[in-house]
Amino acid sequence: MDEIIRQAQQGSEVAFEQLLNDCYDRMYHYALKWAGNRANAEDITHQACLKLTRGLSQFRFESSFNTWLYRLVVNCALDWQKAHLRHTYDDIETADLSTTSYGNAEADIHLRQVLTQIEKLGEGYRETVLLVFGEGLSHREAGEVLNVRESTISWRIHEIRKRLNPVKEGGSK
């Protein structure tokens, strides 16, 4: 893959096409997890492809390409979110949740409730959840993608768990 990236950075259209073919599904997967529905994920992926065309030269092989690519898609999703004022989870009503490990209506409703609560925690929490729980990245890897310290990711996970599963009076859950 590194050789294909280098060739694409040097202007090879064939290499860029191969790179795009190799990573398009991954980009769409990232966008779908972010957006919650196909139409918005397609828009985000389209923007990410355009950004990849213009920004591939900025990839310096200092991190994994997947990490860099994920950050590119997240940046496109954030830009998309700003362009559409405020992204809400209303779209999840029509989301293709078959792409998740959940498979029934009760679990889907629970997922919507959890995402709504996470949205209320503030900036960065949603991305943290998607990276750590959705993509299975370590706290260190998620920190690299989001350009924050590993300890910031750990703190966010701690806060999410604390707020979504508060300790009841008397010290028991």
Q: Which domains are seen in the chain, by residue range?
A: 1-99 (1.10.1740.10), 103-173 (1.10.10.10)
| pLDDT score at 134 | 75
Q: Which backbone phi and psi does 154 adopt, to 5 degrees?
A: -60, -40
| pLDDT score at 106 | 67
| pLDDT score at 102 | 45
Residue 26: its H or E element = helix 13-35
| pLDDT score at 155 | 92
The pLDDT averaged over each successive group of 10 residues in the chain (173 residues) is 93 93 92 84 93 92 86 86 57 47 59 75 82 83 85 90 68 50
Question: Rounded to the nearest 10 degrees, how much is the dihedral formed by the CA atoms of 51, 52, 55, 59?
Answer: 140
| pLDDT score at 115 | 73
- pTM greater than 0.85 (yes/no): no
Span between the terminal Cα atoms of the chain, in Å: 48
| pLDDT score at 17 | 94
Residue 141 contacts residue 70 (beta carbons within 8 Å): no
Q: In this structure, which long-range contacts are made by residues 55-62, counting pairs with CB atoms below 8 Å and at least 24 apart in sequence? A: 56/5, 56/8, 56/9, 56/16, 56/19, 57/9, 59/5, 59/9, 61/2, 61/5
Give the tokens for residue 154.
């750990």
Residue 124 contacts residue 132 (beta carbons within 8 Å): no
Distances in whole angstroms, Cα of residue 99 to Cα of each of 13, 29, 57, 94, 95: 32, 9, 32, 13, 9
